[in-house]
Structure 1
Amino acid sequence: MSLQALPHADPGVPDTRSGLRFLLWLELRQIGGQVKAALWGTLHMAAVACFPAAVGIAVQAVVDGSGGRLAFAGGLIVALGVVTAVGDTMLHRTAVTNWIAAAARVQLLLSRKTVELGSLLTRRVAAGEVVAVSTGDVEKIGWFVEALARFACSLLATVGVTVALLVYQPELGLIVAAGVPVLALSVLPLLPHATRRADEQRAKAGKATELASDTVAGLRVLRGIGGEELFLSRYRQASQEVRGAAVRNARMWALISAVQVALPGLLLLAVTWYGARLALDGRIAVGELVTVYGTVVFLLFPLRGFEEIAMAYSFSRPSARRAAAVLALRRDSAGDSTGDHRGTWTPAERLPAGDLHDPLTGLLATAGELTAVVCGDPDAAGTLADRLGGHSPSGAGDAPSVLLGGIALDGLPLTAARATVLVQDKDPVLLSGTLTELLDVPASGHVTPAEALAAAQCGDVLDALAQASVDDSGDPMRSPITERGRSLSGGQRQRLALARSLVADPEVLVLDEPTSAVDTHTEARIAQGLRALRAGRTTVVLTSSPLLLDRADRVVFVEDGTVRASGTHRELLRADLGYRAVVTRETEHEPEGPEGPRGPGQSARLEKAEETA
């Protein structure tokens, strides 16, 4: 294929049952490019293999004093030089194209898998491992795809030249025919050791990458507690372990390279010694000896392809296994276990609006209302948010799918589920770019960026971006936002992420602690703006903030994985002790007052919550 056709319109469905099956699947997906590379490589090898014969003709022509044969040999060498140059050039072009095409295919598959899994990806696979798979592992997989075509033409050249020597000079050809299989298979006993060392190096490199990414992500916190040196020493130790593993790996491959040089050298010595004896006895001509010698020297070239394919496979096999493990992940663990709940849906139909219902917890969010959910366990809130977005967490077993209007979200195509239900987790990511680019997301068009920014109370953020404008316009929409919004405070990042979600205006919006880093005055205005802007749309907010809870049409209290109570914020505050404990941060063993358990300072907190309500 041509590089102009990249990226692939359809990368296909990979075979992720094992690393080897994944590599074979990649080979079959671009078999045309592999055949082209093998043909060009065979032409190149054949031209190079013919050089010893042409030189032998020239030498024998000089010995016999034949000017005509010498001229013929000269012309043959020129023609072989042209063919060699063309074949080598086209082999390089097609082989590199295969490499890039394979790497691009794997990158596209990984990108689609990242989009499919969303935040679940880093919960199932470490972030450093994902980075390592999408960078170094992709390169090694592409290397194997490229090397396989060169190995195919090397194998053909080796077999062809060996057979030709047997026909041309049987006595010397027998020595070559006996020695070539030994040379080709000599590295096999060393490959398991080399593979283990390559795996060890890759594993240590993945851990070091994971440690580095975690350190960079938490650099601001580390500086705040003075922990830079501690984590720097940990990374230094991890990098030294990677260096040591790389040195041990390099020593093994140096040994393999030495074997691949020493054994062919011994074969060349044996052929030269025996051929010289045959020439002295007059059993072969000098030109024939030169031809055989040159042919054996040529064999050293394709035999290097055997070493390359062994090295490429040893490095790419664990890389392919890790890539296949990531690509094998699925966004739903329930599979077809949802049974009758799954319903029917086709892409041509518009997904009907309806109540959002989670059969596992019993949560019901009425269509068109603002529903607040209070969880006794903060980690359970994140898990519930993922479920409401149609992402069954790892280990969900036979848990039924969340239903929207009676249709299972796990049974919908990914594009339909994402277009209908949007989940904003408690730690949203802001990509680098301008504010305009940040808010340029797939949207219904009913909410403008200005309305979303106003509802999310981003006025001070706009002022800060305007002051940091790189041009003289002072337009905050054109101001750049650094990666992950590191130049902004936590509250500012949170509000911009909320504005992005509001611009999308999905049928169902799930927000996990959207105002945890915002002060109370701003939070109150956000609660009011959120309710007004999402009027008529289904909104679920997982929070324990009284300011948000009071604006909700209905509050649901979830404890130990099931719905314990529901009602308005005021009703639950007075009627449910567990709910009150979570919202007001009370302890259950504080003494009771006339209206329930109250201790020192508790009455004030409760009165404040009621006043807020």
Structure 2
Amino acid sequence: MQIQDLPYPDPGVPDARSGPRFLWWLFRNQLGGQLKSLAWGLLHFASVSALPFCVGLAIQAVVDRSGSRLALAGGVMVLCCVGNALGDTFLHRAAVTNWITAAARVQQLLARKTALLGSALTRRVAAGEVVAVSTGDVEKIGWFVEAVSRFTAAALTIVLVCVALVVYQPALGVVVLVGLPVLALAVLPLLPRATRRADVQRDKAGRATELASDTVAGLRVLRGIGGEELFLDRYRDASQEVRHAAVRSARMWSLISAIQVLLPGLLLIAVVWHGVHLAREGRIDVGELVTVYSSVMILTYPLRHFEEIAMAYSFSRPSAKRAARVLSLERTTDTEGSRAAEIPTGDLYDPATGLLAPAGRFTAVVCGDPDAAGRLAERLGGHPSEEGTSALLGGVPLDELPLKSARTAVLVQDKDPVLLSGTLRELLDVPASGAVGAEDALSAAQCGDVLTALAQGSVGADDAMDARITERGRSLSGGQRQRLALARSLITDPEALVLDEPTSAVDSHTEARIAEGVRALRAGRTTVVFTSSPLLLDRADRIVFLHDGEVAAVGAHRELLHTEPRYRAVVTRETDEETAASPDDVPAGGKPAKPLADDGRAEGRDGSLSDDDVLHRLEEIEETA
């Protein structure tokens, strides 16, 4: 695989049982590139290591006044230089290719897993960790994969040179043969401690990255509640922990580097001292002494790759562990499904809670537990992240349909929808039935002011549809992002649309208009809205109240306000003290009811009007203005 051929047609199925297993799987799948790198590495290191023999041969030829041997030594030296140049050039090319292709394979695997899991991924793994794995970690994994072949070439070269020295000059070759393994293995006792310190550093850096990512994502909210400095202080503390851990790790690696400089120096001293004694005794020639000395000095170059492979492994192991953790996540259901692909129609039903959303009706669901509501909304879309009983659409279990068919039949918009960067036209370019146009969807979602803001903020965009939206829509307010996300969902026009708190960041006046717009646009289609807003509830055809994971009451908004105290407590935010202060309004078997106005809207005990009353007053003022 060459860089220009990326991406991979199929990145494969990784062995994600552990970090080391994942690295081994990745190495095996890069075998072709590894062999190329190994071949060029052997040529490079062998050419470099052969130079001392050429120099020794040339010196001895000068001493012996042999022109033919001097010419031969010069010719061999030229060949070694050519081999060195070619080997180094193509080794670098092959190593970079292995690095980039390995990192690209991991990124493809992560992207495929992210697409498969969808929103379930961030429910099981922190968003910051996913970012850390897909950015910094893939580079470290790629580094180790490409370093393996260079290390192997260096190790083979050292073995070959040691054997050649023993054959060339046994008296000095034996010293080198004994000394080089000591050099290579001397740092092994320090590697576990260095690896542990590197692991600590990587873990702290990963947590700091997660904190930074989560802080940036929620910066607007933090500023709104005055918590910006608190989270910035937390990040400063986390970054200082990373710095201290990095310093401790660097101390250990600097010690390892110092040992790998000191020990080769001692070996050189030993070789020279012993060689001089042998030369004085006439047992070796000057050329042989120079050859052995130069070989030992040159071998310090491939020996450095022992330190590099240790560092690469220590840094890549925690990265591979995190990547394997993400890649090992699986859906609780078979995305291929056990049924043929179809788009069922009919009532949407959840056996676990007893929730029934009749076909073609606007159903609102009220639940006092937001987390439970989110899990139920996900379950209604089929193939949820948690195991459980499948929701049914027209009597067909959604979990048994292929994932694509389930998503086409039921679209779930969660409470924190994501807006991708690009133009508004690109944002709204989603798979759809074609029955709902962008203009109708934007109108129903009350996006008029959003279009105006986008047009004014985009230079050179005459049409608001060509205005650019920043990453995650950060240039927009929370309410504007919600309305654009709602318009995107309405365009798809699915058989059943599930909306989880779609107007939580919208003002009451706009919320009422959205309720009317969605009701009109979705007429004859199944719509389920999870909300506790009276403005949405008052316009629903049917309201289902959930308590303790079961359907507790079904009816109209104003009916449930009078008959179901638990529903009233959730919708009106009635406190226990307020409930206890109204003993005369206690229905049979229920809690006291909050006083109601003549038209059925909740009224405060001091005569103050509810949000619904305020909305009606605003509409009257607007009509008479």
TM-score normalised by length of structure 1: 0.92
2:376 equivalent to 1:384 = yes
Partner of 1:566: 554
- Asked if structure 1 preserves the Cα contact closer than 8 Å seen for 2:383 and 2:403, the reply is no
In the alignment, what sits opposite 2:609?
A: none
Structure 1 match to 2:279: 279
In structure 2, runs of 5+ residues without a counterpart are 603-611, 617-625
Give the corresponding residue for 1:324.
Answer: 324
Deviation per residue, 1:397-424 (Å, 9 max, x gap):
x523334445544455444443443221
Q: CA deviation at 1:190?
A: 0.8
CA distance in 2, matches of 1:158, 1:407: 67
Q: Which residue of 2 aligns with 1:425?
A: 414
Query: Residue 357 of structure 1: SS of its match in structure 2?
Result: strand
Residue of structure 2 aligned with 1:470, choices 438, 459, 478: 459
- 2:303 equivalent to 1:311: no
Q: Which residue of 2 aligns with 1:111?
A: 111
Q: Is the 8 A contact 1:390 1:409 kept in 2?
A: yes
CA distance, structure 2, for counterparts of residue 203 and residue 6 of structure 1: 31
Q: How does 1:294-443 map to 2 (within 5 A)?
A: 294-332=294-332, 344-346=338-340, 349-390=341-382, 392-393=384-385, 396=386, 399-443=388-432
Residue 554 (structure 1) shift? 2.9
Q: Which residue is equivalent to 1:508?
A: 496
Offset at residue 299 of structure 1 (A):
1.7
Q: How does 1:457-606 map to 2 (within 5 A)?
A: 457-471=446-460, 473-587=461-575, 588-589=579-580, 590-593=582-585, 602-604=595-597
- Structure 1 residue 435 displacement after superposition: 1.0
Instruction: State the one-letter code of the partner of 1:240.
Output: Q
1:440-483 deviation per Cα after TM superposition (whole angstroms, max 9, x unaligned)? 22333332211211111111111222222311x53111112222
Q: Distance between the aligned counterparts of 1:516 and 1:358, measured in 2? A: 24
Q: Percent identity?
A: 70
**Residues 491-516 of structure 1, C-alpha deviations (whole Å, 9 max, x = no match):** 11110010111122233322100011
Whether the 8 Å CA contact 1:6–1:101 is kept in 2: the answer is yes
Question: Structure 1 residue 115: deviation in Å?
Answer: 2.4
For the pair 1:160 / 2:152, whether they are aligned, the reply is no
Change (3 A) 1:448 1:306: same
The answer as to whether partners of 1:52 and 1:292 remain within 8 angstroms in 2 is yes
RMSD: 2.6
Q: Is the 8 A contact 1:345 1:351 kept in 2?
A: no
Quote how far apart the aligned CAs of 1:319 are: 1.0
Deviates more, 1:438-447 or 1:453-462: 438-447
CA contact (8 A) 1:343 1:407 kept: no
Q: Give distance in 2, aligned partners of 1:516 and 1:228.
A: 22
1:530-586 deviations in whole A, cap 9, x for unaligned? 223233433221112233234334322211112222344344344333223322333
In 2, the alpha carbon distance for the partners of 1:209 and 1:605 equals 56
Q: Does 2:600 match 1:607? A: yes
1:598–1:366 Cα change, 3 Å:
closer
Name the CA shift for 1:600/1:318 in 2 (closer, same or farther; >3 Å). Answer: closer
Distance 2:399 2:251 in 1: 50
1:531 and 1:287 map into 2 onto residues whose CA distance is: 95
Q: How does 1:91-110 map to 2 (within 5 A)?
A: 91-110=91-110
Q: Secondary structure at the match of 2:546?
A: strand
Instruction: Give the Cα–Cα distance (whole angstroms) in 1 for the partners of residues 599 and 299 of structure 2.
Output: 88
Could you say what secondary structure the match of 2:119 adopts?
helix
Greater mean deviation of Cα atoms: 205-214 or 319-328: 205-214
Residues 310-361 of structure 1: per-residue CA shift (max 9 Å, x gap): 11111111111111111212232xx58x9xxx97324xx3343344332322
Q: 1:121 to 1:185 in 2, by over 3 A?
A: same
Aligned partner of residue 602 in structure 1, secondary structure: coil
- Structure 1 residue identity aligned to 2:454: L
Corresponding letter in the other structure for 1:357: Y
Q: Distance in 2 between matches of 1:13 and 1:125?
A: 20
8 A Cα contact 1:584 1:605, kept in partner:
no
| Structure 1: distance between partners of 2:558 and 2:594 | 20
Match in the other structure for 1:19: 19
What is the alpha-carbon distance in structure 2 between the residues aligned to residue 290 and residue 574 of structure 1? 103
For the residues of structure 2 that align with 1:461 and 1:80, how far apart are their CA atoms? 69
Give the number of aligned pairs.
601
Q: Answer with 96-105 or 180-189: which moved more.
A: 180-189
**Of 451, 456, 459, which residue of structure 1 is paired with 2:440?**
451
1:41-92: per-residue Cα shift (whole Å, max 9, x none)? 1111111121111111211111111122212222221121111111111111
Separation (CA, whole Å) in 2 of partners of 1:486 and 1:606: 41
**SS in structure 1 opposite 2:462?**
coil
Gap change, CA 1:412 and 1:27, over 3 Å in 2: farther
Whole-Å Cα distance in 2 between the matches of residues 125 and 486 of structure 1?
Answer: 23
1:598, distance to aligned residue in structure 2 (A): 8.9
**SS of aligned partner of 2:117:** helix
Amino acid at match of 2:585: G
CA distances 1:351-407 after superposition (whole Å, capped 9, x unpaired): 4334433232222333443322111212221122222233544xx4x5233344455
CA distance in 2, matches of 1:136, 1:329: 20
Distance 2:50 2:359 in 1: 78
Query: Is the aligned partner of 1:64 residue 2:38?
Result: no
Amino acid at match of 1:190: L
Give the residue type in structure 2 aligned to 1:15: D
Residues 565 and 592 in structure 2, CA contact (< 8 A), matched pair in contact too: no
- 1:429 CA displacement: 1.9
- d(CA) in 1 for partners of 2:32 and 2:475? 49
Q: 1:66 to 1:279 in 2, by over 3 A?
A: same
The answer to whether the Cα contact below 8 Å between 1:592 and 1:598 also exists between their aligned partners in 2 is: no
The residue that corresponds to 2:620 in the other structure is none
Structure 1 residue ranges without an equivalent (≥5): none
Q: Retained in 1: the 8 A contact 2:342–2:405?
A: no
Q: Identify the residue that residue 37 of structure 1 maps to in structure 2.
A: 37
Native 8 Å contact 1:586 1:602 kept in 2: no
Task: From the superposition, tell whether residues 502 and 605 of structure 1 become closer, same or farther in structure 2 (CA, over 3 Å).
Answer: farther
Q: Secondary structure at the match of 1:374?
A: strand
Q: How does 1:3-14 map to 2 (within 5 A)?
A: 3-14=3-14
Letter matched to residue 109 of structure 1: L
> 2 CA distance for matches of 1:119 and 1:54?
64
Which residue does the alignment assign to 1:128?
A: 128
Task: Answer whether contact 2:57 2:287 (CA < 8 A) is retained.
Answer: yes
1:477 match: secondary structure: helix
**CA-CA distance at 1:194 after TM superposition:** 0.8
Contact 1:467–1:474 (CA under 8 A) maintained in structure 2: no
Q: Once structures 1 and 2 are overlaid, which stretch shifts more, 526-535 or 87-96?
A: 526-535
**Paired AA for residue 552 in structure 1:** A
Report the secondary structure of 2:543's partner residue. strand
State the alpha-carbon separation in 1 of the partners of residues 421 and 270 from structure 2.
Answer: 65
Letter in 1 for 2:546: V
Change (3 A) 1:421 1:109: farther
Contact 2:98 2:146 in 1 (8 A): yes
The one-letter code sitting in structure 2 at the alignment partner of 1:132 is A
Partner of 2:621: none
| Amino acid paired to 1:390 | G
For the residues of structure 2 that align with 1:571 and 1:537, how far apart are their CA atoms?
A: 24
Q: For residue 543 of structure 2, what is the amino acid of its counterpart?
A: V
